[in-house]
């Protein structure tokens, strides 16, 4: 599946407005029916990166931001490879964390929960180009949704 076109804006504020317009007005529905909710502050987490690789996201990332539409496309793609995420605190796989990969080495992470009545909802966690860690991502167990 071809990757979506990159989005080119002149400023961080234009990307922020795009994110709020596309992602924060209502849920994005995954290909398998999960409602994913986004918060306005999620922009800062997924569109910034650490300049010193120390975990402090202090620099706006044009590279990440140009892929802003890849988040929705990845969530909606039935071609996505789905993996369990990693729980850093417990140092183990997390079956409630779903990592989707479909466009190059771009990953989208959501946290899934079952709502009363059996419906599934999710909270957006992050999205990034996993060029240095894609082997780790693809080495995790498959996400089954159970």
- Mean local confidence (pLDDT), 36-64: 86
Domain that holds residue 132: 12-138
By C-alpha distance, which of 12, 101, 81 is closest to 49? 12
Judge whether 3 lies within some domain: no
Judge whether 146 lies within some domain: no
- Mean local confidence (pLDDT), 32-36: 95
Distance of CA 114 to the CA centre of its chain: 19
Within 8 A by CB and 6+ apart from 62, the residues are none
Q: Is 116 exposed, middle or buried (0-12, 13-18, 19+ CB in 10 A)?
A: exposed
What φ, ψ does residue 107 adopt, rounded to 5°? -115, 145
Q: How confident is the model over 123-135, as pLDDT tens digits?
A: 999 999 888 889 9
Structure confidence at residue 3 (pLDDT): 85
Which range, of 46-50, 53-57, 104-108, 141-145, averages the lowest pLDDT?
A: 53-57
Task: Name the 3-class secondary structure at 16.
Answer: helix
Residue 87 has pLDDT above 70, yes or no: yes
By C-alpha distance, which of 93, 98, 138 is closest to 121? 98
Structure confidence at residue 51 (pLDDT): 74
Structure confidence at residue 57 (pLDDT): 76
Judge whether 74 lies within some domain: yes
- pLDDT above 70 covers a percentage of the chain that reads 96
Domains in the chain: how many in total? 1
Residue 146 has pLDDT above 80, yes or no: no
Judge whether 108 lies within some domain: yes
Judge whether 1 lies within some domain: no
Judge whether 89 lies within some domain: yes
Alpha carbon distance 143, 47 (integer Å): 25
Residues in the chain: 146
């Amino acid at each position: 599946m071809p990757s979506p076109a990159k989005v080119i804006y002149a400023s961080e504020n234009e990307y922020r407005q795009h994110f709020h317009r596309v992602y924060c007005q209502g849920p994005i529905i995954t290909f398998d029916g999960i409602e994913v909710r986004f918060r306005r502050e999620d922009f800062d987490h997924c569109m910034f990166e650490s300049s010193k690789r120390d975990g402090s996201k202090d620099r706006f990332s044009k590279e990440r931001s140009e892929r802003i539409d890849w988040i929705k496309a990845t969530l909606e793609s039935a071609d996505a490879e789905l993996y369990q995420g990693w729980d850093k605190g417990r140092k183990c796989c997390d079956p409630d964390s779903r990592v989707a990969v479909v466009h190059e080495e771009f990953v989208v992470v959501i946290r899934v929960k079952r709502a009363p009545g059996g419906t599934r909802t999710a909270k957006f966690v992050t999205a990034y180009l996993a060029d240095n860690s894609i082997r780790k991502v693809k080495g995790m167990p498959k996400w089954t949704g159970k």
